[in-house]
Chain A
Amino acid sequence: MIETSLIDGISIQLSQMLLVLALSPLLTGLVRKIKARLLRRQGPPLLQPYRDLIRLVRKEAIVAESASWLFRIVPYIVFAATWVAAALVPTFATGLLFSWSADLIVIIALLGSARFFLALAGMDVGTSFGGIGSSREAMIATLAEPALIMIVFTLALVAGSTQLSTIAGIMLSPGVGLRVSLGMALIALVIVAIAENARIPVDNPATHLELTMVHEAMVLEYSGRHLALIELAASLKLLLYFSLIACVFVPWGLAPAGAPLHVHLIGVAVYVAKLGVAGFLLAAFETMIAKMRVFRVPDFLGAAFMLGFLGTLLLFVSRSL
């Protein structure tokens, strides 16, 4: 009995790792395509991100003369940390073998590690663009991370746990109902997700105008396989945030631990559908809104922080009522 559940766990964990890796460029392609269509452009094909990645890994990598060894290993660290984090967020099933090795706080901190090293890589070559990107990324991160921790507090207080699979289970149960705190947490999480993934209105993933770049400025010196890994990590991160929002706020369709195979297949289908809806919403939102000035971003993220904080405070206060 234990062996079958172990094998189940391993196979779910492995298929999830491969699924997120395989789906993430598609998601990026989908968002680009929908954005282009909303602007009445033809847009690149859906599979273009895969072609880009393959082309990039085949090219020789060009590294600046002033770069150190850190510059060359950062892409691997960033990719690995993001992939591990993405592999631990339940996407189509909650019975992940290693879900107990990292709770939601650890997942957030893993993304923090990835960003720490990427910001260092931006400063490594010693150009002004790399510095501007790292410095602004640091500003955004110092506001987004506490907001995210506040959201985690809200979720953890509702669910009595920081384990994502437990949180998803509690959210599925009928006892939760609609709560003000959860609504606040959802809005805050969406804001943070937009900022963390360098989307409009905080950053523009398609820009190469010097003064508007944040993420792109940091990775400006990368090329070839290094750039491919960083692009893939960025796609994975977007997928991770979509999975996180889906797993916590729309957990329907998640296959519970020990469910038969067809439930898992339904779970995968539902998950892909969720990603499609989320990608459409993101593209529509980005099309409708203009990018804001860098120094308006603190207000935007400050709102997320306050919402998360209020949600937590409400739960602290309501515990005794």
Chain B
Amino acid sequence: MKNWSALDVTLWCILALLITAVVAIAIGRARWARWPVYGASLTISGTVCAYSLVHLIAQPAVAWATVLPLGLPWIGANFRIDALAAFFLIVINLGAAAASLYGLGYGRHESAPERVLPFFPVFLAGMNMVLLAADAFTFLLSWEFMSLASWALVMTHHQEEDNRKAGYVYIVMASFGTLALLLAFGLMAGPEGGYAFATMRAHGTSPGLAGLVLALALLGTGSKAGLVPLHVWLPLAHPAAPSHVSALMSGVMTKVAIYGFIRITFDLLGPVAWWWAVPVLFAGAVTATLGVLSALMQNDIKRVLAYSTIENIGLIFVALGLALAFQGNGMKAAAALAMTAALFHVLNHSLFKSLLFFGAGAVLTATGERQMERLGGLLNRMPMTGLLFLVGSVAISALPPLNGFASEWLMLQAILLSPELPQWALKLLVPAVGAMLALAAALAAACFVRAFGISFLGRPRSDAATGAHEVDRLSIVAMAILAVLCLLAGIVPAVIIDAVAPVVQALTGTRMPVQTDVAWLSIVPIAESRSSYNGLLVFIFIAASASLAAFAIHRLASDKLRRAPAWDCGFPDQNPATQYTADSFAQPLRRVFGGFAFRAQEDLHMPLPGDGSPARLTVRLHDLVWEWIYEPVVRLVNVLAERLNHLQFLTIRRYLSLVFGLLVLLLLILAIRP
């Protein structure tokens, strides 16, 4: 039997996914259709994930390439797998496998399975193809494939007005992003049309053009990843899809965009210049802070998660920006640290964001509600979902000993290396970025205290929440696997750092010191006297001292427990409406940050004495990005369309004279510049 490379396997798997999609069209309406479709995508994703893992660990320096007779006739369709692609294949197919497993259970409640099942495997195939593509044409084709499939999934419940709007905004932004990428690749290909990545890598790009390509790449991949101000579609579209697709879009598809950015800047564009870091750091820091502030103001739990994705994308871009800054100054070890932090966070975010979206989907299944204001008390009714959602919340809030903390700790360590950067622009920018990173991390913790506390704790705020029941086993298993991975990645980060080392080696030319040799599986970015962290020990210490305290108190003092009505300072109120709500929880933070970030206005209407009408508090928030950037553009487009509309109603003489005029103009241009 032939010895198969990860590339062959993945290509065959993509074909299998496409066949699954065709089969799904035929059987989509059947009640049992989710079993073969999700079962197939689970098997296929698992296979690709396993083969990529073997590739990354066993032969990271080897790159397999192949050319298929598709696509542009003079270069064909190039596919290639190297360490970077293998790493992202693992991330994406891990998320895809978890989503398929979750879909097996969750899909039962889908009202229109024939709109989900065919597009789900196509979406997975599209993402895998982007990672393997090794020429501009294949890359863009796969990119569009991925965009359109996810658009179709967003439009699953197109009967709802909001979802139609989300789909419209998404397709416009996705087209814009692809246009930017098309231009970026066009510039890199040069006038000879060297569209293969190998050609681009070989002849490089001139420094002036490189700046333009960087801007276009930032626009193109940033619009897919959700960089501010290109993020507007994300909080609309991600929640609109079914929850396992939301998890794929938020946890996984954004990572494909990150892959695109890394591929272009670190691999294809030639030697890195330090100033590339400036726009990337700036965009990343603004995205992180604005994303998490917006998340704090939302009441729809899936929308909270979508905005939190924007925050995490910002964090990843900050780490990539640091890597660019170090790389441009030849500080290889620091660049390797920042790049490791970025890749580690890519993996972490895909794990906990998928977990949280699955949890939100479970809540949606159990209660039919996405509004946190109508949830509450779910931890007593859905203990497993609650526990797993809690694990995801702790992980995403960057608290030790879970995985989110490990990667953010690496980012902070990278920032602490940056005073050595020689450029003043960076010297002034990086501390500010560090401050915003710290602010974003603290706000994320507040955001998830709110999300978990309002949805799962307290007393139920609606009948739907009162009658909630635990969801099916398969959904729970899917969430539990991700939660365990979050914990493992948090307590033994050394293993993951060493696993991504070949990728970092390929991108920055060096790697972090080998971590798994350090005693007790600590991580030591530079030197032990400088900084080190041991998640395993911290975890063991906390578990041991908590158990010790519990044991000592129960054994030596008292273990009696009595249930009684709540104390509430002597005035308990039975009405659950007296609890704090999501809006009231966010009120202090809205007063601190809202005036600046959202122009928040609070109007209090108090009735006159003797008037029996209730007092009213009206809060108005403005989406400044939408109002300042998008609305003017929309108005401009409308005005132009209005003007151009006149051209439709001209007489035949006018049209003929216009054609004649244009012909003369073109001839003149030819005459002047032959």
Tell me whether A142 is interfacial, beta carbon within 8 Å.
Answer: yes
Please report which residues of chain B, range 104-139, place their CB below 8 angstroms from some CB of chain A when the two chains form the complex.
none
Is A112's CB under 8 angstroms from B399's CB?
A: yes
Is B457's CB under 8 angstroms from A124's CB?
A: yes
Give A234 Cβ to nearest chain B Cβ, in Å. Answer: 15
Tell me whether A76 is interfacial, beta carbon within 8 Å.
Answer: yes
Give B153 Cβ to nearest chain A Cβ, in Å. Answer: 33
**Which of B435, B446, B537, B579 is the one whose CB lies under 8 Å from A98?**
B537
**Which of B418, B439, B543, B566 is the one whose CB lies under 8 Å from A126?**
B566
Please report which residues of chain A, range 107-147, place their CB below 8 angstroms from some CB of chain B when the two chains form the complex.
109-110, 112-113, 115-116, 119-120, 123-132, 134-136, 138-139, 141-146
**In this complex, what residue of B is CB-closest to A132?**
B580
A57 to B530 CA separation, bound complex (whole angstroms): 41
Tell me whether B5 is interfacial, beta carbon within 8 Å.
Answer: no
Tell me whether B394 is interfacial, beta carbon within 8 Å.
Answer: yes
Give B484 Cβ to nearest chain A Cβ, in Å. Answer: 19
Give A136 Cβ to nearest chain B Cβ, in Å. Answer: 6
Is B589's CB under 8 angstroms from A79's CB?
A: no
**In this complex, what residue of A is CB-closest to B533?**
A106
Chain A 148-191 interface 0/1 with B at a Cβ cutoff of 8 Å (1 = within):
01100100110011110010000000000000000000000000
Most buried by B among A57, A113, A161, A166: A113
Q: Assuming the A-B contacts A81-B542, A124-B457, are A149 and B449 also in contact, with contact meaning beta carbons closer than 8 angstroms in the complex?
A: no
Give B395 Cβ to nearest chain A Cβ, in Å. Answer: 11
* A interface: dominant SS: helix
Please report which residues of chain B, range 450-479, place their CB below 8 angstroms from some CB of chain A when the two chains form the complex.
450, 452-454, 456-459
Chain A hits for B452, CB < 8 A: 120
Tell me whether B669 is interfacial, beta carbon within 8 Å.
Answer: no
Q: Number of contact residues on B: which range applies?
A: 35 or more
Tell me whether A60 is interfacial, beta carbon within 8 Å.
Answer: yes
Q: Assuming the A-B contacts A66-B458, A320-B427, are A129 and B449 also in contact, with contact meaning beta carbons closer than 8 angstroms in the complex?
A: no
Contacts across chains A and B counted by CB atoms under 8 Å = 294
Is A125's CB under 8 angstroms from B458's CB?
A: yes
Tell me whether A224 is interfacial, beta carbon within 8 Å.
Answer: yes
Give B285 Cβ to nearest chain A Cβ, in Å. Answer: 13
Is B589's CB under 8 angstroms from A62's CB?
A: no
Chain B hits for A138, CB < 8 A: 445-446, 449-450, 585, 588-589
Tell me whether B546 is interfacial, beta carbon within 8 Å.
Answer: yes
Is A101's CB under 8 angstroms from B520's CB?
A: yes
Give A311 Cβ to nearest chain B Cβ, in Å. Answer: 10
A132 to B453 CA separation, bound complex (whole angstroms): 12
Tell me whether B257 is interfacial, beta carbon within 8 Å.
Answer: no
**In this complex, what residue of B is CB-closest to A148?**
B438
For this complex, 26 residue pairs linking A to B, each with C-beta atoms less than 8 Å apart, are A60-B560, A61-B558, A61-B560, A62-B561, A64-B566, A76-B546, A80-B541, A84-B541, A102-B534, A103-B533, A106-B400, A106-B533, A128-B568, A131-B458, A138-B449, A138-B588, A141-B442, A142-B589, A145-B438, A162-B531, A208-B569, A229-B553, A312-B434, A316-B418, A317-B428, A319-B420
Residues of B within 8 A of A (CB): 376-377, 379-380, 383, 386, 390, 394, 397-400, 405, 409, 412-413, 415-416, 418-420, 422, 427-428, 430-432, 434-435, 438-439, 441-443, 445-446, 448-450, 452-454, 456-459, 520, 522, 528-534, 537-538, 541-547, 549-550, 553, 557-558, 560-569, 572-573, 576, 578-580, 584-589, 591-592
Q: Which 4 A-B pairs have the closest CB atoms?
A: A131-B580, A126-B458, A60-B560, A149-B438
